[in-house]
Structures are given as C-alpha cells and as structure tokens.
A and B are shown apart, each in its own frame.
Chain A
Amino acid sequence: MKQKYLPLTATILIFLLSYALCIAQYPNMLSTRVIGNLLTDNAFLGIAAVGMTFVILSGGIDLSIGAVIAFTGVFLAVVLEQTSIHPLAAFALVLVITTLFGALMGAIIHHLEMPAFIVTLAGMFLARGMAFVLSIDSVPIKHPFYATLKSLYFKLPGGGRITLIGGLMMLVFAAGILIAHRTRFGTNVYALGGGTATAKLMGVPVASTTVRIYALSGLLAGLSGIVFSLYTSAGYSLAAVGVELDAITAVVIGGTLLTGGSGFVAGTLVGIFIQGLIQTYITFDGTLSSWWTKILIGLLLFAFILLQKGIIRLSRNGRQPA
C-alpha cells in the first residue's frame, strides 16, 4: 500500500473500531437513525471543514470560519425579517458576500505577505463584529420556506432520515474530493502546500490560487452558515464560537498534515464522523459529562499527530537507501 494512504487508513480503521466498540456496548447505535442524526448534527461543521481542508492543504489556516457562520446566520435572519426577498435570493447574496470576504483575506495574505494566522484572526474579529452590528439578539427565522426545507428528507430503511442538510454535506464532500483530485486548482493547492517557492518555479499561479483557496473557504463557511441557520432556525451573533478549532481538529484527525501538501478531503469526513461519534457515545452513556468530549478529542489529536510523525519518519528512512 502506498505510504500516503497510511494516515487515511488509520483514521478509517480507528473510526470502524470505535464504532464497533460503541455498538458492542449499545447495540442501538447501529441503527440508521443514529447515522442520520450523525450527518444532520455535524452538517455545518463538515461543510466548513471541507473549506478548511483546502486551506490547510495549501499550508495556510483560516480562523474566521466560525465568525463567518455566525455572520451568515444573523444576516439571513435579519434580511428575512426586515425585507420580503425570497430566502433563495438571500442565500445567493450571503454566499457572494462571504466568498468576497474570503477572497479579500486571500489577497491580503498574498499581496501584503502577512501570515494567514493573523489575517484570518482579524477577519474573525471583523465577521463577528459585523454580526454584532446587524443584531446582538438571537433572531428567530419564521419564513415558511425554512419549514419546507427542513421537512425535506430521504427516508432510510430502519427509520433513519437523511435530511437536506445532511445530504448537502455529503454532496459538498463529494465535490471537494473531485476538486482536490481531478482539477488543476486542486493540484495547485497541493503544490502550494509543498512549498511556495517550488510551486512558483513549477508555474503555479500562486496569487490567484491563494485568493481562490480563501474564497472557497469563505464560500463554504457561508454555505455552512446557511445550513446552521436551517439547523437552528435562528441567527445569533454569538453562535458557532470555536467551530474553526473543531474543523481544524477534524482535518488533522482525518490525516491531513498541518504543514500542508499532504492529505485527503475524504479523511476530513471521517474526522468529522469520529468527533460526532464521541458526542453520540456520551449522549448514549448519559453519565459522562460533556467535557470528556474535549479531553477525548484532545487525546485523539495527540495520537494522530504521533502517528503522522511516525509515518513521516518511516518514509524518510525508507527513502534514504534508495
């Protein structure tokens, strides 16, 4: 087996193993209802994590996505409450805004040569601030179209439901996998993650790729915000705090190297599933407190980093004699 598939395989194995352990203890966890809920509950995180995967593959980081999700939710709630435009038009409008916002951050990162960490941190303040300016209250969304969208689902055998947002997340992951491995843009992202100087020498358009990566992340954060507003039926400027960390964690657990250049979008999906599984297990158990989620995820993160280190060391040793 190729070495680059090792982290991904390990992630999938750990997921299957832990799921098997969960089922051994609580047989009900095998039901399609649990799987359907796993998809629905983590839809917004998953969509945002696809964008984060591209950013991290390119060697960058995007701290603004949680704030962008909150902004999107508040924007939709306020627009739908105060104007009479159709939600679909509002969706299109907000996606344009968040995409431009991401593109602007990408442009600043590239043209002013500033670290992505700091630029997206300022972006996080800005997006959260814009959300506050729109409304500091939690604004409910009562538009009938939302109820229609929420009632759409695909029924699985066994009573589980794949809701619209759960299905959307799977579609976004499929699209992400296609973009990463079957388009020129995807190849450029991997090249950029391998090293900016090398990428430039290979003829990768560094400027436009960087801008597009962050624009994509902004677009997906906006989409994630729409999903989040469907999920909660409200817009609140303090919502989705720390989602960027959950997304980064999912990406790392999914086997993507934080240094960039190596990893898979599909791995992120498994990373999301593992996080969701831990939460589901804690809900099933009922006696464990929610803070165990954080500790367990922290430990998992540590285990995966060690695993990646080991693989890199192995591959280096393997390469030297050749």
Chain B
Amino acid sequence: MTSTVRTYLTRLLPQLIALTIIIVAISMIFPGFLNLKIQNDRLYGSLIDILNRGAPVVLLAIGMTVVIATKGIDLSVGAVMAICGAVSASLITSGHSLAETLLVTLAIGILCGIWNGILVAVLDIQPIIATLVLMVAGRGIAQLITEGAILTFNDPGLIFIGSGSFAGLPMPVVIWLLFGILVALVVRRTALGMLVEAVGVNREASTLSGVFTPVLLIAAYVLSGLCAAIAGVIAAADIKGADANNAGLWLELDAILAVVVGGTSLLGGRFSIAASVLGAIIIQAINTGILLSGFPPEFNLIIKAAIIVFILVLQSPRFRAAFTFVSIPRAAGKPTEREAK
C-alpha cells in the first residue's frame, strides 16, 4: 500500500510542484489569495473559486485523458458541450421535468460519443479528423436547437447544478470530484485502464492478443461525450442559459492542454486521471492568478503560453535525455516500483 501511495506521489510530483509554485507566486502578489471563509454553509475563497471555475475543463480533461490514452484525441467536446447545454435548456423550458432533462441530455452526450467512436473504431478514421466533423457541425446543430438565440431558463433544479452547494462545496466541484473518483476507480480497480493503455501503445498487437479494441475505443469516446454533456449542463446552469455560440468554445484545447500538462503523452499509453485533473486546475489557477494579480488582462494569453511552453519543454524527450545523467538512478528505479504495484 505504501509503495502504491509512493508511486502515485512520484507520478504526480511535477504537477504538484508546479501547482504549489503557481499558488505561492499568486499569494505573494495577492495576499488574500489563500483565505477561506464559510458563509451560508458554503466555503468561499479564491482557491474554491479556482476549483469551481475549472469544473468544465476538469470534466472534459477526465474524458480526454482516456481518449488520449488510446492514442486518440477528441476535438468535438466543446461543440458537444454546446449541444448538450442547448438540449437541456430547450427541454427544461418546454416543461419537462429535471430528471427527464438530465437523462436525455446525458444520452445525447453519449450518442455524440458513440458517433465519434464508430468513426474512429469501425470506419478506422484518424481521431483528429473524425472528431473534427462533429466539432465543425456540432455548433451548427446547437444553434439549430436554440434557433440562434440564447435560451434562458429559471428552473431552480437545473440552476442548482451550476450555482448550488453541497457539503460546503459548490455543486460543480462536488460533481467533478465524485465523477473523477468514479471514473478513476472503474478504470484502475478493473483491467480496463490497462487495456486502454495497451490499445494506445499498439492497437494491432492488442487486437491480436484478444483485446476487443473496437468496443474499448467506442467506450473511451462515449466517456468523453458523457463528460462533455455534464460539463455542458454545468456551463449552461451557471449562466442560466444556453449560448450555442460561446458555450465550451475552445475548451477542447484547454482540456487537451490539461492532459498534456498532466504528463499523459499525446502518443497514447500510460495515463493518469488525477494528473490531468491537476493539469486542469493548474491552467485554471494560472487564469485566475493572472486576473487577480492585477496584470493587464492583455498579457493573459502570453503568460499562459510561456508557462505552458516551459512545462512542455521540461517534459520533452530531448530535454529529459539531456539530463539523464542526473536522473539515471530514479529512472532505473521507476519500472520496478511500477511492477511491484
């Protein structure tokens, strides 16, 4: 057990260090940053705000991690968010109950995932193009559902998902925490995670050794679609309306970035959901930090790009190779630790 914990910590160490540095840096510029207070039975503070604002990207990153681990990529998640937000808003305004609305919305997300999955697994289309189709068409479909307008709603149940709180935490945080733990358990307490990694490393070899790759691939995209659906509902509930044009716009890029910052290779194979969640929180912390610390918002993107390039350069194979003489003992120790687990 202790060795398992240690393996996890070694895996998450770079992300934890990066997050700590960013939080310390922000709190030095903005002293009140670490303050937390309880008001109306709910925690308030910048740290909670980061977790809350980051909810959509965290959710997308959970699904994206599994897709990327299969050597795929899902560009459509932003558009699926827009579709699902539009569906939930139009259902709830046309008088359906909350349960029906949520069920249908999640089913639509799953359907989008099945579509992507079939394109990738059965028709054998490159993931980046296969999901590009839904990315391009999806926003049009979402606008078709909302008929070009921003659909607003005031159903207290649906709004609760975006701005309510449970056990002192904002509802979006509760949702991604529970969902993340659930996915991590399903993936890691069964052989699924290992099979996903096997497909990502070598799809042909996995098929030959008896892994039923098409189902596994479709399942990965379904998970991603489901994550996007939940994120879409949260985003819509947060602004009490569905904006087909802007909901989830470019979030697919943030989610991919979160996964990469989390250290999962875009070439597939070994993945860590916890690391991707940390990656998403790092990105959100950077965003919030830049806003709080009073930098002109114009510099937002440049600073973000610089930090990302820095993290990526640290992870690049060439850079690591240049420093192998420092890390040989650790690098040699790693596989055995992994096997011991």
Q: Are B301 and A128 in contact (CB under 8 A)?
A: yes
Most buried by B among A125, A259, A292: A125
With a cutoff of 8 Å between Cβ atoms, the chain A residues found around residue B40 in the complex are none
> Given that A294-B136, A305-B130 are contacting pairs, would A113 and B301 also be in contact in the complex, using a CB cutoff of 8 Å?
no
Report how far A93 CA is from B119 CA in the complex, Å: 45
Q: Are B316 and A113 in contact (CB under 8 A)?
A: yes
A14 contacts partner chain B, Cβ-Cβ < 8 Å? no
> Given that A118-B312, A121-B253 are contacting pairs, would A295 and B141 also be in contact in the complex, using a CB cutoff of 8 Å?
yes
Smallest CB–CB gap between B86 and chain A, Å?
A: 11
Report how far A250 CA is from B130 CA in the complex, Å: 15
B132 contacts partner chain A, Cβ-Cβ < 8 Å? yes
Most buried by B among A259, A294, A301: A294
With a cutoff of 8 Å between Cβ atoms, the chain B residues found around residue A295 in the complex are 137, 140-141, 144
With a cutoff of 8 Å between Cβ atoms, the chain A residues found around residue B267 in the complex are 115
A111 contacts partner chain B, Cβ-Cβ < 8 Å? yes
B141-168: contact bitstring with A at CB < 8 Å (1 yes, 0 no)? 1011000100000000000000000000
Number of B residues with CB within 8 Å of any CB on chain A: 47
A113-142: contact bitstring with B at CB < 8 Å (1 yes, 0 no)? 111011101110110111011001000000
A297 contacts partner chain B, Cβ-Cβ < 8 Å? yes
Smallest CB–CB gap between A316 and chain B, Å?
A: 12
A215 contacts partner chain B, Cβ-Cβ < 8 Å? no
Q: Are B137 and A297 in contact (CB under 8 A)?
A: yes
A284 contacts partner chain B, Cβ-Cβ < 8 Å? no
Q: Are B133 and A298 in contact (CB under 8 A)?
A: yes
Q: Are B136 and A245 in contact (CB under 8 A)?
A: yes
Report how far A128 CA is from B297 CA in the complex, Å: 12
B305 contacts partner chain A, Cβ-Cβ < 8 Å? yes
B217-254: contact bitstring with A at CB < 8 Å (1 yes, 0 no)? 00000000000000000000000000010000000010
Smallest CB–CB gap between A69 and chain B, Å?
A: 15
Q: Are A129 and B301 in contact (CB under 8 A)?
A: yes
A149-174: contact bitstring with B at CB < 8 Å (1 yes, 0 no)? 00000000000000000000000000
Known: A114-B316, A125-B304, A294-B139. 7 other contacts (CB 8 A): A117-B73, A133-B299, A252-B132, A293-B140, A294-B137, A294-B143, A298-B138
Q: Which residues of A contact B (CB under 8 A)?
A: 61, 63, 111-115, 117-119, 121-123, 125-126, 128-130, 132-133, 136, 245, 248-249, 252, 258-259, 289, 291-295, 297-299, 301-302, 305-306, 309
